[in-house]
Structure formats: structure tokens, C-alpha cells
Amino acid sequence: MFFGYTKSHVQAELFCIAFLLTFVFPLSAFAETAVEIINKVQSNLNGKTAVMNLSMVVKGKRATRTMKMKSYSCGDDKSFIQILYPGKDRGITFLKIDNSMWQYVPRIEKIIKIPASMMLQSWMGSDFTNDDLVKTNSLTDDYTKQLLAEIDQEYQVELLPTEEAAVVWGRIVMGVSKQFYLPTTVLYYDEDDTLIRKMIYTDVQPFGEKYYPTKWLMLPQEPEKIGKETMVEISNAVFDEDISESYFTKRALKRYSN
């Protein structure tokens, strides 16, 4: 007995305290775990540097077309993309530095800055946008994180934009592989909580010491776009090796066009 309290009273109070702690603190506990998960995902997807050979197959309701390209990136701040195929698009280049993006079109021999008003426009007719390439919003900086669920092989994390973040999406729900800490599915919702698109990552392969998803399937979910899809497939990738800074200047757009 503790100062007039019976053992049953003490047990009851301990239960109440445990219940209150569970009720009051779960979001902060989940958020800390979710932050760690997303940080690992960002690190595994971006790496210090990456050079990749990619193909992109865009399936519309009436036609399918294929593009091949090579990309160079340094963290999530700098990237350069060169279109290799088809012939009519060969030599088109894109440069991203921080939140700015430029395009060079050999046919008109002109460098074009992509304005902010066009960041949500389709990139090269695909289901990806210019904003996807520029990654103007950072999952680590612009979103709060909450662990929604944990199953045998996967976490589910919800990301909500912070009040000051200028981001496109009202909510993102990401499935994350426990084995690789890479995304498996990503659901993108608008401000009205309507599902706009779904990204599926599959076929994780080793590239040196790094594992990476080599197939990315983007599926639009808006009624008028159902039936369309864009598949990106990575055939080769080299991570964390030095890349010449010459790729990340405006002069590179024309210099590496051919």
C-alpha cells in the first residue's frame, strides 16, 4: 500500500498515465521515425552524384513513343539531361540549377528559360512535369512527415506541406521498402485531397554498392487521363563518382547538345 492507495489504485493510475502518454505523444514519435525514413529515401535516390542512361516510353490513348536520354546530377541541386533519341529530338538538352531550369533546342539554336508558370506543364509530352525534373519542393524541407502504417516489408509515410512551403501537392503518401529504404509507391493528392497521379517503383538492381529502382511507372489518375502512362527504365547508372562541373553551366546546354 502506498499512502492510502491500494495496489489496484496504483495500477489504475499507471495505466491512465500510460494511456495519456500514448495519446499525447504518438504524432511526435511517429514524426521522428518518419523523418528518418524520408531522409534515407532522399539520400538513396539522389546520392552525391549520378550518371544514368534512361529510356522513357510514353503511352497515350492513340499512340506510343519512346525517348532515350542521358542524365547527370549532383545531389538534388544540379542536373543535366541530353536527349539521344528519336532523331527529331536528338540534341535537346535541359539544365537545372537549384530551382531554375533551361532548355536548348538545336533546331532553332536557342536557349530557353522555363518560366515558373510552366513548371506544371508536361515534360516532353510525358506524364512527368517540368517541376518533377527541377524538384522545386524538397521532401525533407517542405513537408511534415507522419508514419501511417508499418507492415512486414514496408512503411507508409504521409507527407503534408508546411504552411510556408510553396509546393504543388496537398498531400503525398509514400510506401517505402524496409529492405532498401527506397519508394515502392507514391500517391500524389491535390489541395482538395483528390488523387491526381500514382508512381510505382520496381525492379531494384545493384549499381556498385548502391541499390536503385530501375523502373518508374507514372499513372495519371484524373478521369480524362486514365489509360495514359509513362515508364522510365534505367539501363545503366554510376553513383558517387566525380562529374565535371562543366555539365552544370548554361554553356553546357549547347556544348553537350551533340
Average pLDDT of the residues of the chain? 87
Across the range 10-39, mean pLDDT stands at 56
Domain assignment present for residue 235? The answer is yes
Grid-cell match 524538384, residue found: 135
CB distance 254 to 103 below 8 Å: no
Q: Which residue has the higher pLDDT, 23 or 71?
A: 71
Domain assignment present for residue 153? The answer is yes
Across the range 30-44, mean pLDDT stands at 82
pTM, rounded to two decimals: 0.83
Domain assignment present for residue 87? The answer is no
Q: What is the pLDDT of residues 110-155, one digit of tens each?
A: 999 999 888 888 999 999 998 887 665 578 888 999 999 998 899 9
Tell me which residue range forms the domain holding 57. 27-64+122-240
Across the range 63-81, mean pLDDT stands at 93
| pLDDT at position 9 | 52
| pLDDT at position 137 | 54
First to last CA, the chain: 86
Domain assignment present for residue 203? The answer is yes
Domain assignment present for residue 54? The answer is yes
Say how many domains are in the chain. Answer: 1
Domain assignment present for residue 229? The answer is yes
Q: What is the pLDDT of residues 170-226, one digit of tens each?
A: 999 999 999 999 999 999 999 999 999 999 999 999 999 999 999 999 999 999 999
* Rounded distance between C-alpha atoms, residue 69 and residue 145, angstroms: 33
Nearest to 151 by CA among 187, 116, 176, 185: 176
Domain assignment present for residue 11? The answer is no
* Rounded distance between C-alpha atoms, residue 258 and residue 238, angstroms: 22
| CATH number, residue 235 | 2.50.20.10
Nearest to 67 by CA among 233, 207, 257: 233
| pLDDT at position 141 | 81
| pLDDT at position 143 | 92
Domain assignment present for residue 248? The answer is no
